[in-house]
């Protein structure tokens, strides 16, 4: 008598690298937090290596892996990063070994990177990458959100607006683009993208044996 096929709900699959990008003020941090909370551990935030100083309340290994420039440059030479960039004088990079190992075990990772980081990740790990860009409903609303924080000078705000326009010009390089005019609706769309991408046939590494079991 033939053995029963394994449950279709427990088939092995390869993990994915889920990128969220947006200009400052478009809600990326809020959506990322909601996604991590909804997934309850099923998605891990990718922890970057950085040369910037640790800030009060941050924990090494949880928020970032803190290091110095010499060590960072050494890792770059060893090709230890999936992507890396210099931002405002500090270096940031995604460690390769941790992510590659996790993907093979079916682990999903959330990346909070700009368009340059997304481009590097796509070039180096294209099949594993799913990229989502969040747009504000209007440039006026984006500026309003930045000003409502009440923490930045006029010069800083204008700098952020210039940077936002530059970042938004890269929207077409992403797999998905979602307009964040309503936080809950935006989150629902982003979460749906994640769920659908997990079901792609190419990521279902256990489908071959499952299908064979149905026909043997």
Selection from 38, 17, 30 nearest residue 99 by Cα: 17
Give the three-state DSSP class for 44.
strand
Q: What is the pLDDT of residues 121-178, one digit of tens each?
A: 999 998 999 999 999 999 999 999 888 877 788 898 898 899 999 999 999 999 999 9
Q: What is the mean pLDDT of the chain?
A: 92
pLDDT at 56: 92
pLDDT at 1: 42
Least confident of 9-13, 57-61, 195-199: 9-13
Domains and CATH numbers, the chain: 13-208 (3.40.50.300)
Q: Label residue 41 left, alpha or beta by phi (over 0 means left) and psi (-120 to 50 means alpha).
A: left
Q: Percent of the chain having pLDDT more than 90?
A: 73
Q: Mean pLDDT throughout 33-51? A: 95
Q: What is the pLDDT of residues 102-134, one digit of tens each?
A: 999 999 999 988 899 999 999 999 899 999 999
Question: What's the pTM value of the predicted model, to 2 decimals?
Answer: 0.86
Other beta carbons within 10 Å of 20: 23
């Amino acid at each position: 008598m033939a053995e029963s096929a394994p449950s279709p709900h427990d088939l092995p699959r390869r993990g994915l690298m889920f990128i969220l990008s947006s200009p400052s003020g478009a809600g990326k941090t809020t959506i990322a937090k909601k996604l991590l909370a909804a997934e309850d551990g099923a998605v891990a935030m990718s922890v970057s290596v950085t040369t910037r100083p640790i800030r009060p309340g941050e924990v090494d290994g949880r928020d970032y892996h803190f290091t110095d420039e010499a060590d960072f440059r050494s890792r770059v030479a060893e090709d230890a990063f999936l992507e890396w960039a210099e931002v405002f004088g500090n270096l940031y990079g995604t460690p390769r070994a941790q992510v590659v190992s996790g993907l093979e075990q079916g682990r999903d990772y959330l990346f909070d990177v700009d368009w340059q980081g997304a481009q590097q990740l796509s070039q180096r790990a294209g099949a594993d990458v799913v990229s989502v860009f969040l747009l504000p409903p209007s440039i006026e609303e984006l500026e309003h959100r930045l000003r409502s924080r009440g923490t930045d000078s006029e010069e800083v705000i204008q700098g952020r607006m210039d940077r936002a326009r530059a970042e938004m010009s890269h929207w077409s390089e992403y797999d998905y683009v979602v307009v964040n005019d309503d936080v809950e609706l935006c989150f629902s769309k982003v979460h749906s993208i994640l769920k659908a991408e997990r079901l792609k046939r190419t990521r279902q590494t256990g489908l071959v044996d499952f299908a064979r079991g149905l026909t043997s």
